[in-house]
Every structure is written in C-alpha cells, then in structure tokens.
Chains A and B, each alone.
Chain A
Amino acid sequence: MSHDSSAIPARGKQIEQLISIFGDPVDVTMPALFVYGHSSCGKTIVLNHVLEKLKVPHVVVNCTECYTNSVLFSAILQGLSGDNDLGSWKCDNLNDLGRNLRKVYESQSWNETVYIVFDKAERLRDREVNLLPALINLQELTSLNFCVILVSELPWEKFYNGVGIRQPFIVFFPDYTKSELGEILCHCRPDGVDREFYQHYISIVLAVFSLACRDLRELKHLSELNFSTYCAPVKAGKFDEGDKHKLWKHVEPHLKEALQQLYLRKVSSEEWMKLHDITESGDATVLKPVKNSDTIELPFYSKFLLIAAYIASYNPASTDKRFFVKNAGRMKKTARSMKKDERKNSHLRGPHAFPLDRMMAIFYSIVDSRVPPTANIFSQISTLVTLHLLAKIGHEDEIDCPRYKCTVSLDFISAVAKTMNFDIVRYLFDFV
C-alpha cells in the first residue's frame, strides 16, 4: 500500500508500522494497541493521518473531556454511528455499551476492523478498576472486530495494576532529535518564506529554548509568534537577509524574554504580540516591563502581619527570643553553635505551622507604632487567609487554637518588607 508521509516529516517509520499493523481491513487485528511517547511527538497527527488515509471506520475520544463513563460511552457510540442525537445513545454501563456497539456495527453492516482511539488514556486509571481491562478486552467481549487504541504520554507500566489485565501491543513514538525538530519547524514555516532564512531563525529558537523545552507544540508556537520580530529589520531595510549574526543579536534577547513570559503563560499570545508590536522603523523593539502580577497591594498592618507570619513560619520558635527580645545577648555566640544542618533549613524544607499567639508576639515587636484594636487585626488575618497568603492548618474543630502557615515566597515577602523599610533578611535564622 502506498502512502504519502511527506506531510509529516520524521514519522515515516511510525506511519509505516501502523499501516502494517492495521493491514487488510477485514483481517482480525490486535484487540488493543498502546501508543505512547512524549507530548507533541506526533501521536495524534500520525494516528489521524493513517486512519483517514486507510478510510477505516474509527472514532477518537478524549478521556479528559469524557469525564464520566456515560459521556465517554455516548461519545464512542455517536462517533461511530454518526448519529448526533444525544438521547439515542445514552448508556452508562459496559453491558449497554457492548450491546449498543453491536447494534451500530450491525446497522452499518461493517465486516472490517473498527478502531476506537482513547486519547489521554492515563485518565482511565482514575475510573473504576475494571474499566480499562474491559476496554482492552472489547474484541473478545463483543465478539466483534474492534481494535482499541490507547494513547498516552506514560509508559504501559504506569497502567498495569497487577490483576488480570492483558498487555496491549505496544507502539512507541520516540522523541524528535534536535535536527528533526528543526526539520519539522521549517516544514511548518509560513507561506512564501525562504527556507534557508527560516532555518536560521529556527536554529536560534532551538538554541534559546531546547535546553529547557523539547516540546514541538511549544516550540512551534514560540517560533510563530516571534518570527515577525526577527523579520522586522529586514523588512525595514536595515539588515540584509544574509546578516545572520546581526539578526541573531537582534532577536536573541527578545526570545529570552519570551521564555520568561510566553512559555510560562504569564501573558497570553495576544498580549505578547501587542506588547511587542513591531514598529514601522524596524528598530529592535524596546521591551516594556510587564507588570509583575505577583505583587498585590496590602493595608499597612496586613503587611506587618504577613511579615510576622513569614518569620514565624521559617524561624525555629526557639530563636524568637534572640531576634525579638531587646538586649538578648549578641548574635556571635550563637552563630556557630547553631550552625545549620541543611536538612533543617526551613527555606529548603518549607514553612512550619505556628500558633496565632506566636505570630502576634512577633507582630507586636516589629510594629513600633501604636496598634489598632484586636478585632480589626483579626479581620485582616482572615483576609490574608482568603487571599491565600496565609493558610489555616488543621481541622475545623480545632478553632480554639488555630495554626497557620505563611505561603508566600521569599521574593514576595522581601518586596513587601522593602515597602515598609523593614530588612527582613536580618530576622531570618536561615540567613544569619
């Protein structure tokens, strides 16, 4: 059987293998296949390509979207029957699924293999234990020529639960090499762009991103969004297409910024494009600082409360005296005796829970000015909890002595402390 796999570079072998496995449509084939490989390594595109190409009856369901059995089962039945009437394929147990599958199979007078693809199959593990083994056995259960294809980013061991589950035939999609990534990205270049010019751009993109991310979907997205920046000086007539080095210098900082903002989804694609709007002159775009969404404005006392909470979370209670009781002796004598074991370092271990009165003691000692009535303070504490800056620990029934944890990062608290001219690092045991 001939096929054209040039639309999908670097997956020729997988396409060939699947075509060979599927074979003659009327033959019996493996009851279940398990297709795995890293995200974006072409599992979906290759399977769809082959199933369409061979024109075999099939349906693809996504196990994340089909979050209950009845949604999953009706999606399968609707997909196969081509009948979108929701009511007619309602079923919520495997017995009805089996009967309905037979109905569909017979009504379409099929005699060939019918493929049911379960994308994100790892989600099936969260359902009843018997769903997955039952689906794998669908061919035997229905005595019909079904082939179930499970698609996942996880290897099969992660699905095996020990009992009676038959191992499907496993097909692995290897990750793309760096040169394959380059080839595919070039293959997907915008219409009318010179291949060599784009190839050079892609090599810069890969140089900046590939150590951190080899996911084709991400790389494709990032390269598409930043290409106009790369081209801008050429369009404006400032550089020549061949000025590789200048173009590199021009785009590299821009891509590094993209790694921080775009890749981490701090800004959306639209915001990114707007932010880096290409100026007509083609000047290297000035990177406007993105407003840091990590800081929020808090009332005066809330800031001190948060600082107190942070200190209470990260310092051992035994050191409070040293930091907060006036004339409590010199630091020097403790500096060595308290030499830290890295394992005890709270900034590695994470915050400890503390009782409210400890936090209040620290709070009163760091706020020099007069403090408002306690009722007001307590309402500010609950606001901090609502904002998820503090977490209340323990059961609801322990309300008489609540314990808290501070959940903000060192960077965050340092920024807050700075606005209060409070040098927090001096009060943190891990840093003395």
Chain B
Amino acid sequence: MSKMDKTLLENAKSIIKERLCKSGYSHNVRADIDIAALDLGNLLQRTVEFGESNSVLVVGAKGSGKSTLINRVLEDIHNDSKNAKNLLIVKLNGYLQTDDRIALAEITRQLKLENTIGDKVFGSFAETLAFLLEALRSGDMSKSQPIIIILEEFDLFAQHKNQTLLYNLFDIAQAGTTPLAVIGITCRLDVMELLEKRVKSRFSHRQIYICNPSTLENYVQQFTDVLLLDKAFGKTAKHKAFVKKWNSHVENLTKNSSVLEILHKQFNYCKEASPLHQILFLPVCSLSQEHQEITPADIAESSQLIFNDSKANILHGVSVLELCLIIAMSHLTNIYEGEPFNFQMVYNEFLKFSQKKSHILQNYTKPVVLKAFEHLIELELLKTKDHFMTHSGKLQKEYRPMILLVDHSQLREAVAKYPGCPTDVKQWAESSIV
C-alpha cells in the first residue's frame, strides 16, 4: 500500500506512529530545547562560518531530548548556513565504535578518505588523525573544510584505552588550527569525572544540560502535542476537515479526568517521554475504520498493560507444587530472619505440610520436587547467595544456600490471584505454623 492510497485516518496514524517511535526527532519541541538549540546553534555556526574550533558536552537523562536537540540544530545549520555545503559531519556512537581503532576507521569512512589513506602506515593515532585532517584542506585555498564530530554515548568513549581518541580530538579543537567542533552527548551527569586529567584540560568545559519536563502541565502538553495534527497534514478541504475533527477529539481526550489522572500517575512515576509514548502506542495502533478515535478507555487499558506487575504475571503461571515451594521458602526466610536456606530445608518444610495437611500433594517424590525447585531458579525467583557462588560448584545442589526474591506481600497477592488455588495451600500461605 503506498502512502497515496491510504485513507486520511491511516495517514494520521502513520504520522503519529512515527512521532511515537522514532527517537531523536520531535516535530514540536519544548521551550527549553529551543533555548539550548539557539546556544548550540550559535556555537556551531562559528565553526561553520568562521572556522572557529570548539568542544561542548550535552548532558541529560535518557529520553530527555539530547538527540532531538542535535538533529534540530544540524537541520537548522543545513538550512540557514551559507557555508553548509562545505560542512562535514561525522557521527560516532559509543555503542558502535567500541574501541579507538574502529572509531578511527569509521571517521575515515565518513570523511570518504579510505582511498586517500590507502595502505599508508602511521606511527601513532595522532599522526593518522592529523593526516586525515590535512587531507581535507583543499589544495588551492589554505582554508580547510569545517568538521562537526558528534560523539553519542560519549561516556563509552571515555572507557577506551588511554582515551586516545578524546585526547586527540580535544587537542585539535583546543589548538584551533582546524575548524573542528566536537560535541559529546551523554546521560552521565558525572561525565567530567570520567575524563583523564590531560583530556579534561583540553576540553572547553562548555556544557549544556537538558532536563525532562518538570511540570505536569508541560507533560500533558507533550502528550497533546504528539497527537495534534498540523497544516502539514494536507491542504485540501477534506484534509482540513479531518484535522479539525481529529484535533478537537484530541483536545477532549486530554481534558478527560480519567486520562489526566493516568497522566498524573505516570508523571509522578517517571517524567521521560518514552513511557508516555508507550501508553499512546497501542491506542494509536488500533485505530481503524471501526474505531476512529482514541477513547479514554483505550488509554486506561493500555496504561494498565504498561503498569502491569511482571512478577505477579510470572507467579501466576507457576504450578501448585512450585507455589508451595515458594510458600515454604517464604516461611523459612521468615523463621531464620532472612538467612539463606537450601533445597533440603525447603523440601523438609514441604514434606511437613504435604504429609500433615495436604493429601493432593503427597505423591511427589524428591526428584520431582527438585525439578520444580530448579524451575524456580531458572525463573530467577530465587538466587544463590552471592558469596557462596565461588564454592557452589563444590556443593551439591540440594545444599546450595539460596535466597528468595519474592517478598511476603507479593506472595500473598499471588496466592490470592492464583487460579484454583487449593484451600489448604492458601491456609498454609497465611499461617506460619505447619
């Protein structure tokens, strides 16, 4: 299906889905990003227009809009700057260029200098980098092309051996002989402490901080913005009518008290944009000819899915035998005040219970019970006590000290919700005496 054949609703759906899913882009940014964009834009303009060198760090929590900021600034420069066609942009990412050798090869590639460098051999990293930058000086003019190097996940580059890449980039930027801007992006607020002294001293110490929205109004606004359609949607009368209808339904949705309550709860829990987008994702995906608008019920249902307690989900699916073992472990943890227990003790508790209280569970032999116990370990509902890990190879699995990762209230809830939980098991969970 091409974009042309889509109905208006499908078009709207595609546009909003893209906003929700594509990180690093936002059609409508918060005011604080606009201000930061102005700052950063000016700085980069000076590199592009006047050949100044510079270095800057953009710091902010994940999902706060750092990449969005960079992408916006680069777009602006592209549109506004007279010298933009000369500009070279190198984008690196700490996840991809996991060491300096890979990073240098990638820089070469992005500067399209693979052929120039051929199979020349250089004595040091610095020499290679100097050669690359020299190669960019055009022959006739003594002026070289401006370069912007962006280092996403900047903190990961600080883990590279000797921080060679960072040292050399900051060194060149500080020397000012090449028009080079180095932008580091990181979510580590303590990023400066990661830098070696010689690297730190070459950095300009210019930092831009980005924050997640700090007020509920901003947060709700972000929710509305992502759904609202604008003029770009289409010029025909049909398009305009659709936009009007759609936007008024969005306004109504964000005035609905149950939706606001959900947003409030989510805001208190986490101020990032991405959970907000996730709440909207399913309702937007399920728009169709039969269901043309997002309803408060859609939002309620999807936020419930997102707030779903995953441990409760897992506990719901264990077998009765496994549930009994968890109860036994919870009792043991209680009796021994959090000291670790082992399978043998759990089995012992289980036997006391099944022999005295529960006839349905009497038939399980020790190996069957052990298999259930091992399944709980696989589900990571219990774990080996850390400092025993080293010896545990030597210890038979029955005696390995373990601790339970399900607390008492989680267990009570699980027992209450367990489908068809036998009464005697329920009672056992409530009492501590067998």
Cβ contacts under 8 Å, B13 to chain A? 23-24, 27
Known: A155-B310, A178-B420, A264-B371. A212 touches B319 (CB 8 A): yes
A405 neighbours in B (Cβ, 8 Å):
394
Q: Is B281 an interface residue (CB 8 A)?
A: yes
In the complex formed, the residue of A with least CB distance to B6 is A24
Q: Which interface class (under 10, 10 to 19, 20 to 34, 35 or more) fits B?
A: 35 or more
Is the Cβ of A212 less than 8 Å from the Cβ of B67?
no
CB distance from A26 to the nearest CB of B (A): 8
Residues of A within 8 A of B67 (CB): 140
Taken together as a complex, chains A and B put the C-alpha atoms of A157 and B379 apart, in Å, by 12
- CB of A264 within 8 A of CB of B18, answer no
- Whether A55 is near chain B, meaning CB under 8 Å from some CB there, is no
Residues facing A in B238-297 (CB within 8 A) are: 274-275, 278, 281-282, 285-286
Q: Please tell me if the beta carbons of B310 and A157 are within 8 angstroms of each other in the complex.
A: yes
Known A166-B62, A212-B321; contact A94-B96, beta-carbon cutoff 8 A? yes
Interface residues of A in 119-154 (CB under 8 A from B): 130, 133-134, 137, 139-141, 153-154
From 83 to 98 in chain B, residues with beta carbon under 8 angstroms from any chain A beta carbon are 93-98
Q: Return 9 A-B CB contacts under 8 Å, by A number.
A: A17-B282, A20-B282, A23-B13, A137-B23, A140-B22, A166-B23, A172-B313, A210-B319, A211-B320
| Contact call B96/A141, Cβ cutoff below 8 A | yes
Q: Which B1-34 residues have C-beta < 8 A from chain A? A: 1, 3, 6, 10, 13-14, 17-18, 21-24
Report how far A256 CA is from B368 CA in the complex, Å: 11
Report the minimal beta-carbon distance from B387 to chain A, rounded to whole angstroms.
Answer: 16
Cβ contact within 8 Å between B313 and A174? yes
Is B345 on the interface with A (CB-CB < 8 A)? yes
Q: Are B18 and A130 in contact (CB under 8 A)?
A: no
Is B95 a contact partner of A211 (Cβ separation < 8 A)?
Answer: no
Interface members, chain B 315-368 (any A CB < 8 Å): 316-321, 336, 342, 344-345, 348, 360-361, 363-365, 367-368
Q: Return chain A residues, CB-CB under 8 Å to B311.
A: 155, 157
State A313–B239 Cα separation when bound (angstroms).
83
Q: Let me know if A393 and B399 touch, CB within 8 A.
A: no
Whole-angstrom distance between the Cβ of B408 and the nearest chain A Cβ: 19
Rounded to whole angstroms, the CA-CA distance of A290 and B148 in the bound complex is 74
Hey, what's the 0/1 contact readout for A19-38 against B, CB within 8 Å counting as 1?
01101101111110000111
In the complex, how many angstroms separate the beta carbon of B358 from the nearest chain A beta carbon? 10
Given contacts A20-B285, A30-B281, contact A167 B316 (CB under 8 A): no
Instruction: Decide: A214 near B317, CB < 8 A? Known: A28-B17, A141-B93.
Output: yes
Residue of A nearest to B393 (CB): A391
Residues of B within 8 A of A256 (CB): 363
Report if A213 contacts B (CB, 8 A). Answer: yes
Q: Does A259 contact B (CB under 8 A)?
A: yes
In chain A, what residue has the closest Cβ to B270? A167
CB contacts (< 8 Å) of B361 on chain A: these are 211
A350:B21 contact, CB within 8 angstroms: no
Q: Which residues of B contact A263 (CB under 8 A)?
A: 368, 371
Q: Is the CB of A350 within 8 A of B342?
A: yes
* B95 interface neighbour in A17, A141, A349, Cβ under 8 Å: A141
Q: Which of B381-419 contact A (CB under 8 A)?
A: 394-396, 398-399, 419
Q: Mark B96-120, 1 if CB is under 8 A from A, else 0.
A: 1110001001100000000000000
**Shortest distance from the beta carbon of B188 to any chain A beta carbon, whole Å:** 8
Is the C-beta of A386 less than 8 angstroms from some C-beta in chain B? no
Given contacts A24-B10, A167-B275, A172-B313, contact A349 B17 (CB under 8 A): no
